Amino acid sequence: MNETERKVNELAKHSYGTWRRQELWKTPILIKDAEGVYMYDDKDKPYLDFSSQLMCSNLGHKNKAIIEAIIKQAEKMPYIAPGFATEASIAAVDALRSVVPRGLMKFFFSTSGTEANEAALKLVRQYKAPNYKIISRYHSYHGATAAGITFTGDPRRTIAERARCTIQGVRFAPDAYCYRCPFGLKYPDCNIQCARYLDYMIKEEGNVAGIIVEPVVGTNGRIVPPPEYFSIIRQICDENRVMLITDEVMSGWFRTGKAFAIENWNITPDILTTAKGCTAAYTPVGITATSEKIAEFFEQETMDHGHTYAFHPLALSAIPAAVAEYKKLMDTGLPRRVSKYLQKKLYELADQHECIGDVRGIGHFWALEIVKNRETKQPFDVRADKFTHKALMTNRIAGEAMKNGLYFAAWYDTLVIAPPLIITEDQVDEGLNTLGKSLSVADKEAVSTGVPASKTSEYSKRT
């Protein structure tokens, strides 16, 4: 063991690795540098970043304008208590108002997506009291705290429930998951049952205060709802006087082509939460953006929430620079052009690999759902396998890709293809070439059905 390996081992021994058994936190790869769409380990081996780290480094690594803004603020005034106004908060609010959907006009700043959702929950419950129930969906992730994990559908909630680390009053609605429709229906004959069922749920449940949804589901599948979905949901919320919270922690910041994913469907939520891309992940910020109606309510009510690091000047200093960089990048037309290229290439990849059941997504936000049998949609692994000792197929593919210099995130059934928005066509080719080779791990164990990908992939029929 050399000196570097010894230091990494010491780190792992004395720190907790996230979301894993600690026996799997022994020898994390040491990353020494990152620039553009690449990161480099201590042996200078490059890895193409095909997931923008955790779907947050949307502008790539080492963006000069953002780094300069942070340095300037660090030199000027890194911290002051949230009860004071700062030039950093004035500039951050100003920049945000130029980019969030119209109608959202008042912001709370925290330091993570989880906290952005926690604040949303408290605001909604105060605003809607005595109604308190929150409806979420099974394919969702909304945060790590007791509240955030309770309205999370993915396997992490099950562990938190067993440990009694959850809150009361959360219910789950069906997903807009056409590839495996919970009602066994087919779009468009389905009449968008997954959306309409919410009306029934709200009325039968009673005391519902709000619904929280990821407009395009992130970690749990890059699920893009049918075109009619959100206008139906907005109408159901209005008719039942229920607040609509859109969680854009991952889907925001031009990842889907629009500044915020919900803008693809021309509706405005009552609350929008975001984080990650708001600073391109250069500093930790969570944002809870609310409508004027909610803002007015709190004129005469205590906003019962806050943190020492709320409105943190150093953290907020990255927001105006990031907003300016996003606008500049979108004006070049590169992300729009490359997203179409990526989509075309992913469909072609699916034609070459039997293990790809579904290809779905939008913009720079794609899922490859990996299956053992394309015809029956039999998966290699299921949600319950996620935190067992089983070596999941998606992790095996991601491990193979890492060996060959390609990084992407994997979940129990999907690969996350969500590169930084600065990626070029050549870099997409480079990534997909390595990905293609890595998929042979799954192809070897997949059933040879001869069924073309276009037959099973639901979204290719719509786009």
Ligand X SMILES: Cc1ncc(COP(=O)(O)O)c(C=O)c1O
Interface pick for ligand X out of 49, 118, 175, 247 (rule CB under 6 A):
247
Q: How far is the CB of 174 from ligand X (least distance, A)?
A: 18
* Binding flag, residue 250, ligand X (CB under 6 A): yes
Q: Is 219 in the site for ligand X (CB under 6 A)?
A: yes
Half-sphere exposure of 317 (CA within 13 A, CB side): 20
| Residue showing the smallest CB distance to ligand X in the complex | 113
Q: Single out the residue of 120, 233, 237, 275 in contact with ligand X (rule: CB under 6 A).
A: 275
Rounded Cα gap, residues 377 and 357, in angstroms: 7
- Please report where in the chains the tokens 């959702």 appear, as a residue: 117
Residue count, binding to ligand X (CB under 6 A): 16
Q: Kindly state the smallest distance separating residue 57's Cβ from ligand X, in Å.
A: 13
The residue (of 360 and 372) whose beta carbon lies closer to ligand X is 360
Does 215 bind ligand X (CB under 6 A)? Our answer is no
408 binds ligand X per the rule CB under 6 A: no
Q: Following CA atoms 91, 313, 276, 435 in sequence, which dihedral angle do they give, to the nearest 10 degrees?
A: 100
Tracing tokens 């997931």 back to the chain, one arrives at 51
Q: At what angle do helices 334-352 and 318-332 cross, to 10 degrees?
A: 70
CB of 224 to ligand X, least distance (A): 14
**Smallest separation, CB 117 to ligand X (Å):** 6
Question: How long a stretch of residues is the chain?
Answer: 463
Indicate whether 142 belongs to the interface with ligand X (CB under 6 A): yes
**H or E element: which one contains 246?**
strand 243-247
From 214-222, 318-326, 328-336, 423-431, span contacting ligand X (CB under 6 A): 214-222
Task: Note whether 414 binds ligand X by CB under 6 A.
Answer: no
Q: Is 121 in the site for ligand X (CB under 6 A)?
A: no
Nearest to 124 by CA among 4, 301, 285, 255: 301
According to the binding rule CB under 6 A, does residue 114 interact with ligand X?
Answer: yes
Question: Across-strand partners of 40?
Answer: 33, 46
Alpha-helical (H) ranges within 98-225 are 113-128, 146-150, 155-162, 193-205
Residue in 141, 229, 326, 459 binding ligand X, rule: CB under 6 A = 141
Decide: is 113 part of the binding site for ligand X (CB under 6 A): yes
| Beta-sheet strand order (sheet of 286-291) | 104-110, 286-291, 271-274, 243-247, 208-213, 133-137, 170-173
> Do residues 149 and 166 make contact, with C-beta atoms less than 8 angstroms apart?
yes
What is the footprint of ligand X within residues 2-61 (CB under 6 A)?
Answer: 54
Q: Which is nearer to ligand X, 247 or 369 (CB)?
A: 247
The region of 112-120, 154-162, 227-235, 362-370 touching ligand X under the rule CB under 6 A is: 112-120
Nearest distance, CB of residue 278 and ligand X, angstroms: 10
Say how far apart CA 410 and CA 117 lie, in whole Å. 24
Residues that bind ligand X (CB under 6 A): 54, 112-114, 117, 141-144, 214, 218-219, 247, 249-250, 275
